[in-house]
Structure 1
Amino acid sequence: CTFTRQRSCCCAANEMYQLEDQTYGRVKGVNLQKDFMLPLSLCFSISESTKIAFKATMNSAIASVQPDLEVKCFGPFNINVPLPFSEVTLNDGFGYNPTLGIFTAPKSGIYVFSFTIYSYVGESDTKPVLLKKNIILPSGFNRNCVLSHISPFLHSQIVILRLVQGDQVYLDLLSGRKICRHLEYNIFTGYMLYPDMEEAPFYAD
């Protein structure tokens, strides 16, 4: 270097090294690290809280022989009865009760439910309804093609509901109705689409 007061081959070397050390220290600083980790932690926390899903089917063993049809059926009963989807293959969040056939929302949010009902009887004999807090939800049923006094009935539906923590959703078989043959084809599923943001976890300073 041509400078007379140089401290190394580069006049500003010491200042540059000092600046590098200060910058590195700030990057490793607690506040910056916390600010960086906060969104990531919040994202993981929200993701964990939405792991709520279930899938259940009926057990054909609960059916009994109907003398008039010579097939096994669940029902009829003289009162409305929740359909017992007792064969559970998924129950993340443990919101579904297989004994009662009822899903209870662990958290508030938007949920998606679907069900498929199959019965080898006429439409007039089979009509389950989806309920939320004992309120019947709208449901459109497909008409089966009646070729004889016994014919298959199949209906599938998907609904999106806003649930508050503790709300219950289940399928009722109306009094006097029955489901016959292949009960294992009947499926009830549900999952949380996203939680209410006001109940999402957060972290204070």
Structure 2
Amino acid sequence: MKGITFLLLALSCGLTQAQMGHPNYPDNGNLIKDLAARVEKLATVTEKMGLMETRLQTTERELEELKKATSGKHQVAFSATLRESGSGDTGPFNVDTHLKYKNVYSNMGNSYNPATGIFTASVKGMYYFRFSMMNSATPNSVVSLMKNDQRLASVWDTSGTDANDIGSNAAVIPLEVGDNVYINLAANRLIYDDGMNYNTFSGFLLFNM
């Protein structure tokens, strides 16, 4: 920018000298026109570069604002399966029971507790949860996705001659900080699992609210 400004000044001086009949710049109409055209062209280029510099500064500010807006965003995601090893039925129990998915694949944000089977929201937002269930040799399985004490979605198989059916369900729900989400095994029901990991519980934060 400084170099272009210097050139503009130099050409302007040259034009003035030519107009004044300076000995180094004879009074030549073509020279004056040429200098005038060059000054005008450089002025246009300078204006365009000024606009580009303004746009660049605006873009840099927007990038900084975006960095500030996205920094500190919570990252919450988890996925777990019911058994760490072995095979067999879980249940039946006399009362509704929280299933404890102990084989944790991921737990970004540490919001899921494998000791209790409960996911606790650490940030207000919209979340996605999914779970799957495998029934036992005798179909007698009912599991539900719970938000606090509210039943949101269920998978069941309590009749039929075929064994080891599998089903899944999912939900997108809003959560406040401290809300609990877990999978509930209904009283007097049971599910089956083995090393194939049929029973899963996963969830993640879609966006903050």
Deviation at 1:145, TM superposition (A): 3.8
Identity of aligned residues (%): 24
Amino acid at match of 2:119: F
Q: Deviations over 1:122-142 (max 9, x none)?
A: 33x221221101212243535
| Distance in 2 (alpha carbons) for counterparts of 1:33 and 1:181 | 54
- 1:1-205 to 2 correspondences below 5 Å: 3=15, 4-5=18-19, 10-11=35-36, 13=39, 16=43, 32=58, 35-41=61-67, 45=70, 49=73, 51-59=75-83, 61=85, 72-123=88-139, 125-139=140-154, 141=156, 145-147=160-162, 151-182=163-194, 184-196=197-209
Secondary structure of 1:10's match?
helix
What TM-score, normalized to structure 2? Answer: 0.67
**One-letter identity of the residue aligned with 2:171:** V
Greater RCO between the two (CA within 8 Å, min separation 6)?
1
- CA 1:163–1:10: 2 relative to 1, 3 Å: same
Structure with the higher helix share, 1 or 2: 2
Counterpart of 1:102, as a letter, is I
Deviations 1:21-60 (A, max 9, x none): 866775676xx466322453256x17x6253211100115
Count of residues in correspondence between the two structures: 179
Once the two structures are TM-superposed, the CA of residue 118 in structure 1 deviates from its matched residue by 0.6
Unaligned runs of 5+ in 2: 1-10, 20-30
Q: CA RMSD in A?
A: 3.5
Q: Offset of 1:62 from its aligned partner? A: 7.6
- Distance change >3 Å, CA 179–CA 33, structure 1 → 2: closer
Cα deviation 1:170-195 (Å, max 9, x = unaligned)? 00112222223427311111112222
Looking at structure 2, the residues matched to 23 and 140 of structure 1 have their Cα atoms a distance apart, in angstroms, of: 61
Larger Rg: 2
Give how far 1:61 is off: 4.4
The equivalent of 1:69 in structure 2 is none
CA contact (8 A) 2:166 2:198 kept: no
- TM-score normalised by length of structure 1: 0.69
Structure 1 unmatched ranges of 5 or more: 64-71, 197-205
